[in-house]
């Protein structure tokens, strides 16, 4: 509502080009030197922008990196592959593809680490990054229910709890495999993992 009218604040408007250049420069630097050696001064220089311009829009390194990495998740999409298993594998592989990019690898865990002491940051990560992926899982379940692969949810609370569990399992396993074990998340692994997960789910519900 506020931004719609936008009220034409007096003074020179902020340059849209600057924001784009800064986020792109941030990802470049992440790729080249990693999170811990990323410098706001360096980012500003590469973006051809003054440090003041950067600080006018982001309060610090963490916020900037979250936004820079979040843009990587814009491309997430879940093509309908026909079966629940195929859809899950799709989510897994898409997520893994993003995690394989050095700008995500380096930045993502770092901001998560920072977020353990900064609630505002955690919330920002949740909105910009986590929820973006969660949406895919929700969509997949809706499709599966439409296809009749899964029964409709009778209890909303129970449903939400299961959803969270599934999401933690999927996202957690992929991240752990990719970053901690440092092994490739390829089609083979995705198939094994999906089998484990779906068997667990269907067996559980038939209990």
Partner DNA sequence: GACTAAGCGAGACGGTACGTCCTGTCTTGCT
Partner DNA sequence: AGCAAGACAGGACGTACCGTCTCGCTTAGTC
| Interface ranges with DNA (CB under 7 A) | 8-15, 18, 37-42, 48-53, 55-57, 60-61
Alpha carbon of 104 to those of 73, 95, 112: distances in Å?
10, 11, 12
Instruction: Name the binder of 175 from its own copies, DNA, none, CB < 5-8 A by kind.
Output: its own copies
The smaller minimum CB distance to DNA, of residues 30 and 99, is found at 30
Among 46, 101, 122, 132, binds its own copies (CB under 8 A): 122
Q: Whole-angstrom Cα distance, residue 88 to residue 190? A: 9
Report residue 133 as tokens: 């992926």
- Under rule CB under 8 A, residue 184 binds its own copies: no
Binding residue for its own copies, selected from 13, 41, 117, 148, defined by CB under 8 A? 117
State which of positions 141-180 bind its own copies (CB under 8 A): 161-162, 164-165, 167-169, 171-177, 179-180
Q: What stretches of the chain show up as alpha helix (H) in DSSP?
A: 2-5, 16-33, 40-47, 51-57, 61-70, 84-100, 102-115, 119-125, 131-147, 156-175, 187-206
| Closer of 7 and 180 to DNA (Cβ) | 7
Contacts of 57 (CB under 8 A, 6+ apart): 14, 18, 19, 22
> Applying CB under 8 A, does 190 fall inside the site for its own copies?
no
CA atoms within 13 Å, Cβ hemisphere of 59: 4
Beta carbons of 109 and 179 less than 8 angstroms apart: yes
Q: Which does 120 bind (CB under 5 to 8 A by kind): DNA, its own copies, none?
A: none
Which is closer to DNA, CB of 51 or CB of 135?
A: 51
Quick one: tokens of 16?
């849209």
CB of 1 to its own copies, least distance (A): 29
Minimum CB distance to its own copies, residue 63 (Å): 13
Neighbours of 1 (CB within 10 A): 4
Residue number with CB closer to its own copies (49 or 175): 175
- Residue 197 engages its own copies in binding (rule: CB under 8 A): yes
| Residue 73 touches which of DNA, its own copies, none (Cβ within 5-8 Å per kind) | none
């Amino acid at each position: 509502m506020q931004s719609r009218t936008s009220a034409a604040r007096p003074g020179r408007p902020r340059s849209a080009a600057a924001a784009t250049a800064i986020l792109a420069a941030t990802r470049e630097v992440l790729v080249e030197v990693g999170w811990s050696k990323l410098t706001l001064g360096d980012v500003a220089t590469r973006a051809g922008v003054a440090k003041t311009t950067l600080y006018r829009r982001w309060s610090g390194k963490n916020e900037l990196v979250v936004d820079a990495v979040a843009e990587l998740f814009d491309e997430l999409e879940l093509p309908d592959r026909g079966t629940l298993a195929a859809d899950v594998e799709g989510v897994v592989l898409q997520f893994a593809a993003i995690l394989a990019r050095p700008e995500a690898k380096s930045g993502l865990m770092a901001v998560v680490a920072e977020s353990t002491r900064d609630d505002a940051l955690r919330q920002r990560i949740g909105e910009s990054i986590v929820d973006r992926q969660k949406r895919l899982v929700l969509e997949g379940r809706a499709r599966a229910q439409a296809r009749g692969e899964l029964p409709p949810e009778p209890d909303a609370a129970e449903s939400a709890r299961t959803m969270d569990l599934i999401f933690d399992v999927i996202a957690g396993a992929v991240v752990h495999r990719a970053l901690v074990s440092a092994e490739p998340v390829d089609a083979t692994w995705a198939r094994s993992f999906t089998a484990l997960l779906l068997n667990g789910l269907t067996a559980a519900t038939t209990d």
